[in-house]
Every structure is written in structure tokens, then in C-alpha cells.
Amino acid sequence: MAETTYDIVIIGGGPGGYTAAIRAGQYGLKVALIEKEKKLGGTCLNVGCIPTKSLLFDAEVYDHLKNATAHGIEGVGTITLNWKTILDRKNGIITKHVKGLDFLMRKNKVTVIEGYGKLTGPAKDGIHSIAVEAANGEKKVVQAKNVIIATGSDARMLPGVESDANRILTNIEILALPQIPKSMVVIGAGAVGVEFGSIFKSFGSEVTIVEYLPRMVPNEDEDVSKELSRVFRKRGIDTYTGAKVEKVEKTNDGVKVTFTGSDGKQVTKEAETVLVAVGRAPRTANLGLEATKVEVERGFIRVDEWMQTGEPGIFAIGDVVAGLPQLAHVAAMAGTVVAAKVAGKRARPVRRDRIPACTYCEPQIGSVGLTEAQAKAAGHQVKVGKFPFSANSKASIVGSHEGFVKVVADAKHGELLGVHIIGPQATEMIAESVVALELEATIEELMFTIHAHPTLAEAMLDGFGSVENMAINV
């Protein structure tokens, strides 16, 4: 029999779960967080956002050093990579932030329970019971007035293909490879695929990217996809779109990937490794959902605008939610919303059309709001502006001229509808446009918003001006 009844029990300690726990603790609620792994942080901290960005930063430093003499830096000599140091640095960052989470749990009086959490059925007299089984087989039951499911996702695999330690990889194995592979085929040109493709190209691997849909980063504006393909080709990354993978086979010293290209011709690529980056499947099996009224759609959990499932008192957040982009900041904000709701505080639902999407490959991509095609499909009379980084002075200073800022606006009222950036620091620069969308800014207001000089952010001012054909610098 459980001795404590918590206000909220959260199953899953990733960015969705730990953010909900911290915020609920700040509101003074009694909170428990159940996590099956030894470390908090989930996919994001351990095998996702943070380790990939650590590698991407190392790749950026390495790329700069290759070009040192152009900056007047002599005597660098032959530069080489120490893969072990790269991995140690990445692991050090993870460890530091896992410790940070442990501290935040103590600070906010969150009880962390190690073990696998599972619902036991609907609430009885308003109290939910969650069965927890620890790794050593110990079992207990935890009781709560509210439950948040934040169990995240796993890499999807192609049918009949299984990952291993060093040839057929997902995001987990690739982050612990014994050495940098000489060659790699990446299946999937979404954010995960293009980020790893970008990292390993910088580190010297021969990289081929194969995408089933007709364009790279298919969720982005079409112009962004075209620009990424162009720059990746220029970087020597071989890309195939509209290509269907038929077979992935292990060979004596690597892998062989056979696919049909967009022209209907069969292509075979041999490489040391293959990364499968074809999306993420929600972890909703074996959670006891079938004993409740929680509705599931192709494995994802259906929720209303407050993340409430079909079962009263059970919420779902993060990668398990149907129709939400699988991003750490979306999971975290959804956790914040649920904590506020349960605490009876003011909250705003997550607006699905105001979620920034960032891809940290070289060149970076940052976008928010409607693409040009989506704005037209939604019935807007659309006005579009585009400003190239080649005309921005700070881009010359940092030696990064690829890409542009594209702004999508409503022609009738001048309302900002979407912003799509590809180029230097795009992932940082997009924040301004998220705020602009939140505040329902018009192009005119943005054209009179002062941006410091010389900055990459000035490209935003020119981007907004370009909607009215009045960018200053082109």
C-alpha cells in the first residue's frame, strides 16, 4: 500500500517530464518523477539534442581551423581529430547536465523514483495507481491525483533491419562509435539525418544521404530545402531525394544499401556504416494504456489543447503526443502548461503554429510559422520577401555567405505569418521571429524595429523590408 498520494506523478524524466516536475515543484505541488534509466535527461540530454550539438560545435571549430591561414593564423600545421577526446568532451557535457538535473530535483523537492512505470487502470475515487518495477525486480505502487505520461520515443527502424554497435546505426550507436568511419550512408534527410551527415562530412567521412520524400528537410519551406541541397552538394555530400531504400545488407567490411532513385534506376552504395534516421516511434506500448480511456492513434496519444488525454487526470506531453512536433522545447513547454493547469494557475495552450524548428547542420536552419505553400493553402493572399546573407556585412566578417532569410506575410494586413532562415546562426536568430509571431507583429512594425549593426540579425531587418521590396542592402 502506498503511503503518499502525490499531486502529480510523471512517467519519464526527459525534457518533458523533468520540466513538468520542476515547474510543479515551484508551484508547491507534491511531485514524483519515475525514470527507468539511471540518468535523467531522456533522449535529448543523453543521445539527442545535447550530444549532437557538442559534435556539431567540434565540427565547426575543425572547419574553421582548416581555413586558419585565411584568417592570418599561421603555424597551425597539420590538424587531426582525436575521436576519443571528442566523445569524452561530449560525455563530460552530458554528465555535468545530468548532475544539474539531480540538483534541480532536490531543489524543487521532486521525489525521483528509479524504475519502469505503468498505469494500473482508471482512477479509483480520483486517485491513480502506478506500478513501478525497479531494475532489480523490486516492485511498488505509487499513488497520484494526476499522472503525466512523458515516455518519449525510440528511433524507427526499416522493416527487417536491426541496429548493431558499429555498422547499422541509430542515434544511440553513432554517438559511441569506436572511430570516425571512412564512409557513411544516411537514410533520412530530416533534422537528425542532415545533422549527422553534416558532422561526419566535416570530420572527413564520405557521406551519402538518401531521402524517400522529394526533398531534403521535407518539413521546411521548399526554398530552404533547395538551398540545403545546393550547399550540401557544394560541401561534397552526395544527396538522393525521392529515393526508396530496398535493401540494407552487411558486407565483410561494412554495409551495402540498395535504393531506387527518383529516375527509377537502382543504385547501390557501399559504405563502412549506415545511419537509419527515418523518424521516431512513440514509447506507448506496455504502459497499461489499454486499461484506461486514453486514446491512441498509430501509437501516439491523443490529447486536447491542455494535454489532457481521454482519461480524466491523465495527461501526455512530448514525443508521445499525436500531432505535436517531436522537439525538446515542445515537450518542455507542454510540461509547463500541464503543471500550471494542475496547480490551478493561469496557462496558455501550446500554439502548434508558433513552434520554432531548428536544424543545426552547416548551414543551420531556423524556422517558425507557415511556409509559403502552407500560407497559400490556408487561403492567405501571400507576400514574400527574401534577403541573402551574401549582402550582410557580419556574414562577410564571419565568412559565412550561404543562405537567406525568407519572410512570409499576409498581403492584406501585413501580418507576419512565417520566417525561414538558412545560414549562419539561423538557430539563434529565429527567436526574434517567434516573439514577433506571438505578439502578432506586422511587417511595418518589424521594419521600424532597430537591429544593431553589424550583426547577422540585421539580415532579419532586411528580410522584413524585402517583403515590401525595400531591403536596404540589396
Ligand X SMILES: Cc1cc2nc3c(=O)[nH]c(=O)nc-3n(C[C@H](O)[C@H](O)[C@H](O)COP(=O)(O)OP(=O)(O)OC[C@H]3O[C@@H](n4cnc5c(N)ncnc54)[C@H](O)[C@@H]3O)c2cc1C
The catalytic residues are 453
* Nearest-approach distance from CB 428 to ligand X, in angstroms: 13
Nearest CB to ligand X, comparing residues 13 and 388: 13
Q: Provide the 3-class DSSP secondary structure of residue 203.
A: coil
In the region spanning residues 295 to 354, those forming contacts with ligand X, defined by CB under 6 A, are 318-319, 326-329, 331
E strand or H helix at 128, and its extent?
A: strand 128-133
* Nearest-approach distance from CB 192 to ligand X, in angstroms: 4
153 lies in the site for ligand X, by CB under 6 A: yes
188 lies in the site for ligand X, by CB under 6 A: no
Cβ–Cβ under 8 Å, residues 200 and 169: no
Q: Name the residue among 156, 155, 165 with its Cα closest to residue 250.
A: 165
Nearest CB to ligand X, comparing residues 150 and 217: 150
Candidates 94-102, 146-154, 208-216, 343-351 — which segment interacts with ligand X by CB under 6 A? 146-154
Candidates 34-42, 87-95, 161-169, 392-400 — which segment interacts with ligand X by CB under 6 A? 34-42
Candidates 151-159, 361-369, 391-399, 458-466 — which segment interacts with ligand X by CB under 6 A? 151-159
> Which position among 24, 29, 36, 400 is part of the footprint of ligand X (CB under 6 A)?
36
17 lies in the site for ligand X, by CB under 6 A: yes
C-alpha cell read off for 175: 554517438
C-alpha cell read off for 206: 564520405
- The amino acid at residue 33 is L
> Which position among 6, 10, 15, 142 is part of the footprint of ligand X (CB under 6 A)?
15
CA distance 133 to 124: 21
C-alpha cell read off for 248: 540494407
* Nearest-approach distance from CB 195 to ligand X, in angstroms: 7
Cβ–Cβ under 8 Å, residues 168 and 158: no
CA distance 151 to 299: 12
CA distance 309 to 290: 13
* Nearest-approach distance from CB 145 to ligand X, in angstroms: 19
* Nearest-approach distance from CB 133 to ligand X, in angstroms: 9
C-alpha cell read off for 212: 524517400
> Which position among 32, 35, 173, 432 is part of the footprint of ligand X (CB under 6 A)?
35
Q: What is the DSSP string of 74-115?
A: ----S----HHHHHHHHHHHHHHHHHHHHHHHHHTTEEEEES
In the region spanning residues 167 to 186, those forming contacts with ligand X, defined by CB under 6 A, are 171
128 lies in the site for ligand X, by CB under 6 A: no
CA angle (420 as vertex; 414, 423 as ends), nearest 5: 135
CA distance 108 to 165: 38
Q: How far is CA 418 from CA 63, 226, 328, in A?
A: 31, 18, 21
> Which position among 37, 63, 102, 445 is part of the footprint of ligand X (CB under 6 A)?
37
In the region spanning residues 265 to 284, those forming contacts with ligand X, defined by CB under 6 A, are 283
Where does this chain bind ligand X (CB under 6 A)? Answer: 11-17, 34-37, 42-44, 48-49, 52, 116-117, 150-153, 171, 192, 283, 287, 318-319, 326-329, 331, 360
